[in-house]
Amino acid sequence: MASAPVIPDSCNHVLAEFECLDPLLSALRLDSSRLKCTCLDVSKRWLALGSSGGGLNLIQKDGWKQRLFLAHKEGAISRVACCLHDEDYVAVATSQGLVVVWELNQERRGKPERIYVSSEHKGRKVTALCWDTTALRVFVGDHVGKVSAIKINTSKQGKAAATFVMFPVQIITTVDSRVVQLDYLDGRLLISSLTRTYLCDTEREKFWKIGNKERDGEFGACFFPVGKNSGNQQPLIYCARPGSRMWEVNFDGEVQSTHQFKQLLSSPPLPVVTLRQDPHYTSSSCSPQSLSFPKLLYLTEHSVMTWTERGIYIFLPQSVQVLLWSEVKDIQDIAVYKSELFCLHTNGKVVHLSLLLVDRCIERLIRRGVWTLAARVCCLFQNSIISCRARKNLPLDKLEHLKSQLDASTQQDLVTQLEEVISKLEPLDSACSSRRSSISSHESFSVLDSGIYRVISRRGSQSDEDSCSLHSQTFSEDERLKEFSAHQEDEQVDLDNVSHASVTVEADRNETFLPFSIPLSFRSPSPLVSLQAVKESVSSFVRKTTEKIGTLHISPDPRGRHEAKDSEQLQELTVNLVASPQEEKELEPQSYQLPEDDHLRDLKAATAEAVAKLQDPLVLLEPQCLRRVLREWLVHLEEKFGTKEHSASSVKKSKTVCAKDQRALLEENLPLDPAGGDSVDKEESSIVGHSTEKENTDETDTSKTTCENSTGEKGPLDCSFRVSPPFVIAPDVQKDLVELTTLCFELCVFSCGHGDAEEGSDGSLPLAALWTLACRFMRSYFFLLDLKRLKRCIITVYATSPNVWETYITGLKELTCHSPVALAMEKEDMLKILKLLHDLGPWDDSPLLLVHAQRLYEKFGEIALRPMVKFYPSISASDIRQLCRNDPSHFLPYLDSLVKSKPEDKRSSLLKSLLQPESVRLDWLCLAVSRDAPQRTDTVDAEGNPRPRSHLFTWGYSQLILLLIKLPADFVTKEKMADICKSHGFWPGYLFLCLELDRRIEAFTNIAHLDDLSLLNEEDGSIPETIEEWKFLLHLAQNHSTAFHHHGPQNGSAVGNGSASCPDCVTVENVALLLAKAVGPNRALPLLQECSLTLELSERFTGVCEILRIAEKRQRALIQSMLERCDRFLWSQQA
């Protein structure tokens, strides 16, 4: 039998039709040749169907049981739009161009009523309807390009609402061609016409054209709202372009990039899962598709949907991927709500499709009893079914149940294919088959290849919640205990004597951030309860396979680790039974490990005592007392969790080499500055002397010296991290331990590794030793540290120590080494990894996201930092600054992207909040003016003056530079910023700072050198304010013109004085004209005569002055006339 084609595992979504709407259309009589459906829309509650007879049918989606019929005599229904934020309103456009707004009155159980009829588009074809997302306002577009807005006043707003709105219909704009699509979000309206897309700010009444290139045809556009876990990131806009392309546009209407999907659409189409026909798939690729997308619809949190005459296409535009495309012919329109699609075909037929994961689709088919179709889909998408995520919804028992429902006589091929899929889920080999046969009578658990028992609840429930519930498992096993015989009870003593240390809950190191992790409070009793249910099989299994299982501690099977990982993703309780040969031979009571209450009794008592002492304000507010309490408690923590690295004898032997090792420690860790060599020698001699004194003290003091000596261990990787506790700790106990351990790190109270504690905050230890102690403390107690507080402490207290930060990052890497992101980092590209990070959110301010960003930066470099803006504020600017501390210039692109991602009115406040500490402002400014900037020789001449027109050069970070210099700062900082701008030739910023520092003469001098009169304007305050400033500027213009005439132009061609071809050059005539406009021609002429400049003026100046005099005279007359009229009116009122 030839094998059927299998869909790749990358295709894990599918469009499915679970219910046919043909009976509904038949009941509504919309399936006849005379009457058919013409338009549709959908909301959370309603499915709205407009008909060719002028009727609007509103069907309640819940059970399709309630129907409202709204009749219209104005013609057939051409468009319908449901209000999503208030489903009591619906807007309808008729074939005559009238727009009718209905209030359904469902809350008051009243009859639907028309509340407004707009005739603004009468006689035209309405092509688009769109509701405001917050207010009761409808936007309407027609075939000639006219766009209007209808403001709705209803009884819900009160009787006084109508008195404040005089014009309910407002003309927004008229574009150059037919309106193809309208979309609205957060105060902005998106208008897509046949030639281009427009963005309208409806509050400020501003318009932007998106992009420069026009198009010809129906191309849609839509807003792309950001997810809940994206912080303050602004929404995006996607505009369709010819040739299967899309523009990605920011919320300000600026095109960011162009995405090309032509080559990606060469993959074969995925089948639509429907009861009408069996799904078929052809693995052969088709030719690339060059398509025009008539509309773009936002579908889910990550995808955009469109369609053509050939099929339906769903894209992931942010990662430039095709989620799927399926062949669906003759589509006229589609309405979407979340993952639901309602497709209107050209023949009036309506199809209801759902976008969902393949495993969810199969699960729903099984729940509906559609066995054959479920099996066919399972075989087609077997690569996706085998994945760990799919096995959570489709465990082995469900697939076995599905196979049992098939007819083996008539569906032999299908049964065989399904058996192959099941065999791939759990491979059969000789090692595991015997184990399964020994426990086949117990269906409540299964044995993995590594000897791990997976406890599964099979109490008849197939829901995810039951399969993940530990209570349901325990209850099911307790019921089975009643069926055991008496000889099984005799073996209870043997099982009870098994060491609790050999019963461990297998968990990945990244269990702290798994979305469905089992609470720790349940983990302590769960292994024993589960063992009682399977003790008969366990006892025989331990005796038969002890030797093989015992080797798991030495060389664990990779398959066992992989299987354990899969079981975690299935959220099942995994128990690893490991018996040593001695335990098999004789299960002695001495091997019994104390329960948690006995094992941590002393530590719990010490913790409770320390917490009680910290409640005392006299202790809490006194640093020395607080550190003393923590030192006393840290001794008990070291006894339970500390590593016994040296014995007492080794401590005595180390006394003789203490001073030598201390000196080696300083040589490795202390920064050796040639200019400061004396200070280093002093620190060396002080610590050596300190250790020599300790040699004469008792053994306890020697232990402390040994601790300092042992801090010479180099690097964070020389000692493995303890990212998980050695045994189960109750949540309430662990909470107190985490609080106290983190407090020890924040106050620099560190453990020496021998039961003593060392305080390093009083200056008794050099910085290098303190840093090394901090690194060791993190490695030893990483599982007891609050990672968020730890990061803040490192950034503030240990900012000058790169080793401490690297140790923290290494610990996070160790914690997440088996996470999906870490595994994908080896083989996936950056876009797929970023998408995976986005899918795993929300991150809030989790440090785990920081370590993934570190991995991305290490692998992809600077290019990986810009996309981190999407995760702000989960990853802050200070975090990125720490990541690229070795190359601070890499931080600049991230900062620029972060600032540009915010609205203009919020950029300054954001940048101000990032300036922590304030001293980084000058560092950032120096980076910004030196990166992606023109050459200094192009902006500054040999004498240090600006070159003409050099302020027009493009600077890569000009917006960021201007924001930095415009932020409030002290006078000294502003002067330093002005010097930086001048030295690098950034003249726009230098002129601004000169005016702000009241160095106006210097500003006028540089404007004259730049030879651009447009720099003198009232908005910036750069126009002269006094007669002396005007005289100075006129003399500058005269000298500049003379020098320009003698030396020739440096940039561009020479222009004679007063020439009309250069109206913005700094010439005497142009400055004189500016003077005449500012103070008037009658005052300007005497000033020019005083400066002896009248001979340099042309007839053009005389003509302009005459025009100014006439305009001034007429203005005076107009003002006089208005004043006289006002005077007469006031006297008449008084009479």
Of 466, 477, 474, residue with least CA distance to 393: 466
The pLDDT confidence band at residue 537, using thresholds 50, 70 and 90, is: very low
- Closest CA relative to residue 523, chosen from 569, 475, 570, 575: 575
Residue 735 confidence (pLDDT) above 60: yes
Q: List beta partners, residue 93.
A: 79, 99
Tokens of 813: 């890497």
Which has more confidence, 919 or 517? 919
- Say what the pLDDT of residue 41 is: 96
Calculate what percentage of the chain has a pLDDT beyond 70: 71
Residue 930 and residue 895 in contact, taking contact as beta carbons nearer than 8 Å: no
Whether 715 shows a pLDDT value over 70: the answer reads: no
- Mean pLDDT in residue range 587-593: 36
The Cα–Cα gap between 959 and 908 comes to 11
977-1007: per-residue pLDDT in tens? Answer: 999 999 999 999 999 999 999 898 998 899 8
What's the pLDDT tens digit per position in 874-927?
888 888 888 888 888 888 888 988 998 888 888 888 888 888 777 788 988 999
Q: Tell me the average pLDDT across 345-351.
A: 92
pLDDT category at 352 given cuts 50, 70, 90 is: very high
Please say whether the beta carbons of 262 and 290 come within 8 A: yes
Residue pair 1008/1015 in contact by the 8 Å Cβ criterion: no
Specify the DSSP class assigned to residue 184. Answer: E
Please give the DSSP secondary-structure letter assigned to residue 793.
H
Mean pLDDT computed over 618-634? 87
For residues 186-214, give the mean pLDDT. 91
* Cα separations in angstroms, 72 against 100, 500, 554, 887, 1053: 9, 77, 80, 69, 70
Mean pLDDT is lowest, of 333-342, 468-477, 823-832, 1038-1047, for 468-477
Q: 356: which 2 tokens?
A: 């969902």
According to the model, what pLDDT value does residue 1063 have? 66
Give mean pLDDT, residues 423-431.
Answer: 56
Q: Reply yes or no: is the peptide bond before residue 873 cis, omega within 30 of 0.
A: yes
Kindly report the average pLDDT of the chain as a whole number: 75
d(CA 354, CA 830): 30
What is the distance between the alpha carbons of residues 519 and 944, in angstroms, rounded to a whole number?
69
Q: Per-residue pLDDT tens for 785-804? A: 999 898 889 888 888 888 88
Res 216 pLDDT > 80: yes
Query: One-letter amino acid identity for 23?
Result: P
Per mean pLDDT, which of 241-245, 426-430, 824-828, 853-857 is the most reliable?
241-245
Mean pLDDT within 177-194: 94
Which residues sit opposite 69 in a β-bridge?
Answer: 57
Residues 330 and 341 sit within 8 Å (Cβ to Cβ): no
List C-alpha distances in Å: 513 to 120, 791, 814, 849, 996.
56, 17, 14, 11, 51
Least trusted range by pLDDT, from 242-251, 287-296, 555-564, 1119-1128: 555-564
Q: Please tell me the predicted confidence (pLDDT) of residue 3.
A: 62
Q: What is the per-residue pLDDT for 759?
A: 52
The answer, yes or no, to whether residue 832 has pLDDT greater than 90, is no
Query: Is the bond into 917 cis (omega within 30 degrees of 0)?
Result: yes
Q: Read off the pLDDT of residues 305-342 as tens digits, 9 standing for 90 and up.
A: 999 989 999 999 999 999 999 999 999 999 999 999 99
Q: Can you give the pLDDT at residue 874?
A: 85
- Predicted confidence at residue 582, as pLDDT, reads 35
Question: Closest by alpha carbon to 462, among 379, 399, 529?
Answer: 399
Give the model's confidence band at 678: pLDDT under 50 very low, under 70 low, under 90 confident, else very high.
very low
pLDDT at res. 385? 84
Q: Determine the Cα angle at 289 with ends 288 and 293, to 5°.
A: 150
Per-residue pLDDT at 229 = 63
In tens, the pLDDT along 1073-1122 reads 888 888 888 788 888 878 877 666 777 777 788 888 788 888 888 998 89
CA distance 969 to 978: 12
For residues 1041 and 511, the model is more confident at 1041
DSSP for 89-154, please give it: EEEEEETTS-EEEEE--TTTT---EEEEEE-TTTTS-EEEEEE-SSSSEEEEEETTSEEEEEE---
